[in-house]
Structures are given as C-alpha cells and as structure tokens.
C-alpha cells in the first residue's frame, strides 16, 4: 500500500504536465482572440491589437509560451488574468473555499441518499419499493444537472419562495445563510451521483446477501445488524467506493455549470468565464488545481479500497 501511495504521488507532476500542455494546445482551437477583446472589440485598430499581442507575448510559439508558463508555475506564479489583470493565484484563493463548501454540502447529501436508496432497494428487492427506487434512480441519472437546477429554482425559489434564487453568502458572514444558499445547487449536483451510487450499492448488497458467507452467518444465528454490517456491507462497499470516486470527479466538472446557473462565485464560474474569454492563464491554473484534486481523490479512494479489501494490501 505504501508503494502504491508513493507511486501515485510520483506521477502527479507528469499528469500535470500532460494536462496543462493539452490545455495549451486546445487553446489554439478556441474561437476568439483576447487581444481583440482587450483592444476594444472588433472596431479596434490593428496597431492596438498588435501592440497588446506583443505586450502579452500572445504571438509566441506554442512550446516557448508553455515553457515560460511552466517555469513560472513551478515557482508558484500562475500569472495574471489577461482580461481583468488580477492575480490568478489570489483569485483562486478567494474562490476555492466557495467551491469546496459547495462540494462538502453535495457530498453530505450524496452519502445518505445513496445509502438509504441502496439499502431499501436491496432489502425489498423485486418488491414495489425496489421497483419505485430503481425507476426514480433511472430518472435522476437521465436528467442533466442544469435541468434539475432550473426545475428546483422554479419550484422552490420562484413559486414557493423557500430558497434564494441566486447569489451566495460566505460561511464567515452567516453559516445559516451560507447553507441556505447552497441547498438547491448542492441537491442539483447530488441527485444523479446519489442515484448511481444507490444502484451500485443495491447490486453489491444483493450479491452479498446471496453469498455463502452471509448464509453461513444466518445459519450461525447472527443478528441482522451483524450480518449486514460485518459481512454484507463491508464487501458491498468495495465497488461502491470506486463508483463514489468517479462521481466526485464528475462533480468537479458539474460545478462549472451549476455555479453559473446559481451565480455562485466559485472556481466553476471562474473557469467558465475564462473559457468564454480565452483567458489562458486562468484556464491553465484552474485546470492544474482540478487535476491535483482528481489525483488526490483517486489516491484517497485507493487507500480506502485497500482498507476494505485485504487482497489489495497484500498485492
């Protein structure tokens, strides 16, 4: 297990170089020119546009521009936004707690919803509650998060007036208002992942219930809680943890859409604005952060996987 952790940590720099180089290449395919935008739009003079390109080194060859950025990034300098001129690191430091808070509330919703749905569906399998949960989870997985978000806004914010429509309150200003503003966006993000986890947990529990070790436990007179917690659940969590990690990775991408729908000033909204304006320093910095978060999430899942499955620790 220690070797696996060290190997994953050692591959992080290679992953970041590959991801950021790919972003640098893809930026050439994005329509629009930040120099034109900064010069005043389509009516700007060619002299002004060329002056901005030269000032910001926008005409440098691909690998020269990437080498310059990589050299600064290794020192912790991710440059400034081409559009606003603000420090990218300072802006990320201001927005990161917002996105992490949204993710925390989302995970706090995913786990109980998935556990309840998976347990209930497995216990009442092939019965009406099981069929209802499976139908509901299929509908939840099929609905895009932005559609769910719009429906939630219309029902709970506009018609019922229970929740705020847009905006954000920081936790340090008012914890209650912070949570109040994050309930709808977090639920919109949590609905599909909780449905996938619920179905995965159901399938794993059904297989575990039919396993010989569970039948032996029942034959020995073990209590239902002991059978479920000690034998069935521990084995059922192994594939569920893997799926959970995949859902966390998906949440990073989903936050870009949801933060824009609810006007939440997090990294997702920052990234979306940068993509629209072809603001390469911002895109690269946020991509690096998302890549690091993804690698660390997968590393944590590998550790949990090893704790649940002794075969992984031995290998």
Q: How confident is the model at residue 167 (pLDDT cuts 50, 70, 90)?
A: confident
Domains of the chain are 96-314 (1.10.3720.10)
Tokens of residue 254, six digits? 């989903």
Q: Is the pLDDT of residue 281 over 60?
A: yes
- Cβ atoms of 270 and 95 within 8 Å: the answer is yes
Express each pLDDT in 190-237 by its tens digit: 999 899 999 988 888 888 777 777 777 767 776 666 667 666 777 777
CA triplet 23, 28, 30: central angle to 5 degrees? Answer: 90
Q: How confident is the model at residue 14 (pLDDT cuts 50, 70, 90)?
A: confident
SS3 call for 165: coil
Least confident of 110-114, 144-148, 305-309: 305-309
- Cβ atoms of 102 and 185 within 8 Å: the answer is yes
- Cβ atoms of 300 and 292 within 8 Å: the answer is no
- pTM for the model stands at 0.79
Angle between helices 280-308 and 88-123 (to 10 degrees): 40
The DSSP line for 47-71 is HHHHHHHHHTTTTS-HHHHHHHHHH
Quote the pLDDT of residue 106: 92
Distance CA 253, CA 46 (A): 37
C-alpha distance from residue 287 to each of 27, 116, 122, 164, 281 (Å): 12, 34, 39, 30, 10
- Cβ atoms of 291 and 15 within 8 Å: the answer is yes
C-alpha distance from residue 178 to each of 138, 189, 248, 264 (Å): 31, 17, 22, 11
Q: What is the mean pLDDT of residues 162-175?
A: 84
């Amino acid at each position: 297990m220690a070797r696996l952790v060290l190997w994953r940590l050692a591959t992080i720099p290679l992953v970041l170089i590959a991801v950021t180089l790919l972003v640098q290449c893809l930026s050439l395919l994005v329509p629009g020119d930040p120099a034109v935008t900064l010069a005043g739009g389509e009516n700007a003079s060619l002299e002004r546009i060329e002056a901005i390109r030269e000032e910001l080194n926008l005409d440098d060859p691909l690998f020269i521009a990437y080498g310059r950025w990589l050299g600064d990034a290794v020192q912790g300098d991710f440059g400034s936004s081409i559009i606003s001129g603000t420090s990218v690191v300072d802006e990320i430091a201001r927005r990161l707690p917002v996105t992490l808070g949204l993710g925390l509330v989302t995970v706090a919703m995913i786990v109980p919803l998935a556990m309840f749905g998976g347990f209930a569906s497995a216990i009442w399998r092939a019965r009406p509650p099981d069929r209802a949960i499976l139908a509901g989870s299929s509908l939840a997985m099929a609905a895009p998060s932005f559609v769910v978000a719009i429906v939630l806004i219309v029902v709970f914010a506009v018609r019922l007036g229970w929740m705020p429509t847009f905006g954000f309150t920081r936790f340090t200003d008012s914890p209650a208002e912070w949570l109040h503003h994050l309930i709808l966006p977090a639920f919109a993000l949590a609905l599909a992942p909780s449905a996938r986890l619920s179905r995965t947990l159901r399938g794993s529990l059904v297989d575990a219930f039919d396993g010989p070790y569970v039948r032996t436990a029942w034959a020995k007179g073990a209590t239902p809680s002991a059978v479920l917690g000690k034998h069935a659940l521990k084995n059922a969590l192994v594939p569920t943890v893997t799926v959970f990690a995949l859902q966390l990775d998906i949440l990073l991408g989903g936050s870009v859409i949801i933060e824009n729908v609810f006007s939440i000033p997090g990294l997702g909204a920052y990234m979306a604005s940068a993509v629209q304006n072809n603001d390469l320093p911002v895109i690269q910095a946020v991509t690096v952060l998302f890549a690091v978060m993804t690698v660390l999430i997968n590393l944590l899942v590998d550790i949990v996987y090893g704790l649940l499955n002794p075969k992984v620790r031995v290998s």
